[in-house]
Amino acid sequence: MRRLIVLVLAAMLVTFTGCGKFKEIKVNSVKMEKVSPYGLRGLNVGLAVEIDNPAVQIKLSDMEADIEYCGKVLGKVTVDPFTMKGRTVETYHLDAKVTLAENVSLYDMLMVLDKNFMDKCLIDITVKGKLKGGLSKTITKNDVPLKKLMKYADKKK
């Protein structure tokens, strides 16, 4: 579960890196600080994420990702809004929430981490970014293969 949240968070940040200096934004490390259940259908996760941002300040909000397996939505990951300081390497303490879809068990969600099932898992990501000057853009990436994100995350270690 931890690895899945890390991948989704990395994907959300990579989604926003579309042009110019934004392509150079790097997630250096992701560490899980705390995990606590909320109800029977979800988890609250505290993360420490080190980001190298050579671009200008960006406020990220409305960060959501749907996790799908064979066309069935397993759950949703949301991350609280935060601001990436411009031209810095900074560690951000973020709160993420994983909510399971109806008729999905925690076991179903954990099976996603098995390499045999990963080929059929896709993630739909939405991130709204607002530059310090006031310009904002919502970026959506649909059907991003989880296996592709795993390769990206393994390179970051």
- All domains of the chain, ordered by start, with CATH? 2-150 (2.60.40)
Q: What is the pLDDT of residues 6-26, one digit of tens each?
A: 777 777 766 655 445 666 788
Which amino acid is present at 26? K
* pLDDT number for residue 30: 76
Q: What is the pLDDT of residues 66-125, one digit of tens each?
A: 989 888 898 999 999 999 999 999 999 999 998 999 988 877 777 776 777 777 889 898
Phi, psi (deg, nearest 5) at residue 19: -150, 160
Dihedral angle computed from the Cα positions of residues 43, 48, 54 and 59, in that order, rounded to the nearest 10 degrees: 40
What are the DSSP calls for 33-49, one per residue? EEEEEETTTEEEEEEEE
